[in-house]
Amino acid sequence: MSADRDRVLAAANVSRETAQRLDLYVAQLARWQTIKNLVGPATLAEVWTRHVADALQLLDLMPEARRWLDLGSGAGIPGLILAIAGPPGIRVDLVESNARKCAFLTEAARVTGAPVTVHNARIEAVIGDHHGVDVVCARALAPLDQLLAWTEPLLKTGTTGLFPKGREAVAELTDAAERWTVGHDLIPSRTESAARIVRVTALAPKSP
């Protein structure tokens, strides 16, 4: 795992302080995983290459963004990691309906000093409070069609959507196109050759 850590941090070109804060996050994740099952058990040994690197690559796609909204934050991937490693002035809102996962997010944010606000709420209840965010993101949460339905109020008013997807990205875009006109591009993931990140830059519902 040490070699994975060093390789990921070198590729991301983070400062020593940021590396130390990411170490604290990973330590908290391992500690809480035993009682909260925050990530798939088989992926914990690959936390740097499977989770941390997957989150860090989003920063390069929106380098000027400062206000982020992460939906279904779970273990803080990608939102908490973005807050730890992001540029000065970044602020991330984490939305998670599971109270136990929110407890982890709150404690991990405290330990790492990450600039986040944790919302223990359902997405539908809070999405309207976040107009003006630069980016809305979600990882391993729901099919793209559902993500677009949740985030429509933001995406149609200038917010960019970043949705990491696996090899199913094209199929999910095809399904979503039945009821949405989606301005997007597909960006290859650095962490898995078949995976794609769907970047949504415009959205409009199709007429019935």
Is the pTM above the cut of 0.85? Answer: yes
Can you give the pLDDT at residue 1?
66
Q: Which stretches in the chain have pLDDT values below 70? A: 1
Give the span between the Cα atoms of 146 and 143, in whole angstroms.
Answer: 6
- DSSP symbols for 32-84: HHHHH--S-GGGGGGIIIIIIHHHHHHHHHSTT--EEEEES-TTTTTHHHHHH
pLDDT in tens, 68-124: 999 999 999 999 999 999 999 999 999 999 999 999 999 999 999 999 999 999 999
Quote the pLDDT of residue 20.
97
Domains of the chain: 2-205 (3.40.50.150)
For residue 68, the cross-strand partners are 92, 135
First to last CA, the chain: 51
